[in-house]
Copies of this chain bind each other. A is one copy, B any other.
């Protein structure tokens, strides 16, 4: 899961980035609305954390532009403590959620999980596919009840596929969502992680559709 943080205060931005990375996400930071808009158009993110008070281009405007362009990217906005009017505007402009500053990192993570979950059309924070369970809160993964310990990337890969359960995910998309913007990777990197992940899982949860991509079946069944 790759998140775009839009926050002009470097200190806060860095805190959020660290928090998100601890939470198992990949995050890019931009400091103004203009760049945010550009970045969101050009790169692919799974969600955006958006501060409303921004230089150059106001956060609400960024959000409205996104929605006007039919981009359904989940957006979590950050507002001042007593700005309920601001929050109502934000929600009507298409925000999926808000958080008032200052906030607990833990709450930001919970709300992020929630909007990501919703975007995937899921109701529960525990993602399931057949014998496989992935708890997004604790990041525990178990198969047939047995806990398996995954590395950061293995987890991200699996979580991403589960979020898009029932859909075929092309390898290029995985490349986009598993790594932040700073890095270039060979497509083979995905295959390597996948091999190791499959070995750990020990059950055929992840299907390959040659020429199309990878897939975790909606009910966990293998065709």
Contacts and interface: CB of A to CB of B under 8 A. Distances in A.
A113 B91 contact: yes
Number of copies: 2
A167 B151 contact: no
A118 B126 CA distance: 20
- Give the interface residue-count category, chain A: 35 or more
A132 interface: no
B137 A168 contact: yes
A205 to B, nearest CB: 16
Given A91-B113, A137-B167, A138-B167, 6 more contacts: A88-B107, A91-B114, A139-B209, A139-B212, A155-B211, A155-B212
Interface of A: 67, 70-72, 84, 87-88, 91-92, 94-97, 104, 106-107, 110-111, 113-114, 118, 121-125, 137-139, 147, 151-153, 155, 166-168, 209-213, 215, 223
